[in-house]
């Protein structure tokens, strides 16, 4: 039940409101997840604080080798950004595959992370970009690794009155990146599995590789067993299948056996192979 709505004019005013109205305060940005929860009756009594127009949350810049990306940027804004296309290719690809255009036009990356769905498209992407999250409250600010914020399905570990203000990414210029997902249909589908991949080749060998799986574990996570298996290699297709299998095993060891395991094990393996094919020796 929504009991109130406020539209603060600045970030400081928003943080002050969130502090004053806690624990009922609930920030709303694009609202594309929140309004579904509201309709389904999953929200308790709350007061909405509208942060969708705060310019302070739309930072976009490269500073001392890091890319600062405002949490209030919409998926469409991320997709269109020249800076991000160059320096954060996986985030751009993941954002362009979220929901529909109507959703991408208002939904934000900060909201995607704060909602913390196991299938959130931008979380695996931010993980391979080794994102740090900047959090602010009326008491100050802190910066944590994205992994530390992912407490469980739909449970971002935000303190009361705390807001995600930006993400700080490693510069991925000149790196190869991809984001692929398996859904029940091509558009608008919630990912059944998604894979973010970021890599750099050095003289035909894989010099750097970051992989993160979405929707396969309670929260998206880096898949280090598969990364290690391929690092330093000039991979052949067989190496990809081996890495895919390692990733599937890592997924199952984290999630435990589930009704969908038989399917997801093979699907995860195939998804890795399909996604990383361009990294093969003779790949384009």
| Residues forming the site for another protein (CB under 8 A) | 1-5, 7, 28, 30-32, 35-36, 38-39, 47-48, 50, 52, 76, 99-103, 105-106, 186-188
Nearer to another protein, 48 or 91 (CB): 48
Q: Are 211 and 223 in contact (CB under 8 A)?
A: yes
Q: What is the C-alpha separation between 265 and 281, in angstroms, rounded? A: 26
Nearer to another protein, 1 or 282 (CB): 1
- In the three-class reduction of DSSP (H, G, I as helix; E, B as strand; rest coil), residue 125 is classed as helix
Alpha helix (H) residue ranges in the chain: 11-21, 34-39, 75-80, 82-87, 89-96, 101-104, 109-115, 122-128, 146-149, 224-230, 237-255, 261-276
Nearer to another protein, 39 or 63 (CB): 39
Q: Give the shortest CB-100-to-another protein separation in angstroms.
A: 2
Nearer to another protein, 22 or 105 (CB): 105
Nearer to another protein, 98 or 131 (CB): 98
User: Of 276, 174, 151, 162, which Cα lies nearest the Cα of 226?
Assistant: 276
Q: What is the C-alpha separation between 46 and 284, in angstroms, rounded? A: 52
**144: Cβ contacts below 8 Å, ≥ 6 apart:** 132, 133, 135
- In the three-class reduction of DSSP (H, G, I as helix; E, B as strand; rest coil), residue 50 is classed as strand
Nearer to another protein, 83 or 103 (CB): 103
**104: Cβ contacts below 8 Å, ≥ 6 apart:** 74, 75, 76, 79, 95, 96, 98
Q: Give the shortest CB-46-to-another protein separation in angstroms.
A: 9
């Amino acid at each position: 039940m929504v009991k109130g709505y406020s539209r603060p004019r600045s970030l400081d005013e928003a943080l002050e409101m969130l502090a004053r109205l806690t624990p009922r305060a609930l920030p709303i940005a694009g609202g594309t997840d929140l309004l579904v929860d509201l309709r389904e009756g999953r929200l308790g009594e709350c007061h909405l604080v509208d942060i969708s127009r705060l310019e302070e949350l739309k930072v976009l810049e490269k500073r001392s080798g890091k890319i600062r990306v405002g949490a209030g940027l919409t998926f469409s804004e991320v997709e269109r950004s020249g800076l991000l296309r160059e320096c954060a290719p996986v985030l751009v690809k993941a954002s362009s595959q979220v929901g529909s255009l109507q959703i991408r036009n208002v939904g934000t990356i900060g909201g995607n992370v704060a909602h913390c769905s196991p299938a959130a498209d931008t979380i695996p992407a931010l993980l391979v970009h080794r994102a740090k999250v900047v959090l602010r409250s009326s008491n100050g600010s802190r910066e944590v690794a994205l992994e530390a914020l992912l407490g469980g399905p739909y449970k971002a570990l935000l303190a009361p009155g705390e807001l995600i203000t930006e993400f700080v990414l490693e510069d991925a210029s000149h790196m190869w990146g991809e984001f692929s997902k398996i859904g029940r249909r091509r558009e608008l589908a919630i990912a059944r599995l998604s894979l973010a991949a970021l890599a750099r080749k050095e003289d035909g060998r894989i010099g750097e590789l970051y992989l993160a799986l979405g929707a396969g574990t309670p929260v998206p996570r880096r898949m280090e067993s598969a990364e290690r298996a391929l690092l330093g290699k000039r991979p052949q297709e067989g190496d990809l299948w081996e890495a895919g299998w390692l990733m599937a095993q890592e997924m199952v060891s984290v999630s435990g056996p589930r009704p969908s395991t038989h399917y997801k094990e093979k699907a995860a393996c195939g998804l890795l192979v399909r996604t990383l094919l361009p990294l093969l020796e003779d790949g384009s």
